[in-house]
Amino acid sequence: MHRQTLEIINNLSNEDLYRKCLTPANSEISTWKWLRAMIEHEIHHREEIYIYLNLPDVKTPQIYGLSAEEVWGVSVQL
């Protein structure tokens, strides 16, 4: 799915990105704004999963390196 998505996005021209599209709610929006909204939506759900996993003290893997607490710990030592 990731490769298919990249292929679709990579084939969009600047004109395609500024062209209006319809959301599932039949609202008109620029394609580039719709793509951005999809990313924001994915981030929202990822954060929900992290919150639910933290409730029972399940350690979640880091996506981009250090956690906020680990960054704080390293910066305090300097």
Q: What's residue 78's pLDDT? A: 54
Contact 37, 26 (CB under 8 A): no
CA atoms within 13 A on the CB side of 55: 6
Q: What's residue 77's pLDDT? A: 61
Contact 46, 61 (CB under 8 A): no
Pull the structure tokens for residue 17.
């990105």
Query: How far is residue 15 from each of residues 10, 20, 74, measured CA to CA in Å?
Result: 13, 10, 46
End-to-end CA distance of the chain: 43
Q: What's residue 4's pLDDT? A: 94
Element (H, E) at 57: none
> Across the 78 residues of the chain, what is the mean pLDDT of every consecutive 10-residue run?
92 97 94 94 89 89 77 76
User: What's the predicted TM-score (pTM) here?
Assistant: 0.63
Q: What's residue 3's pLDDT? A: 94
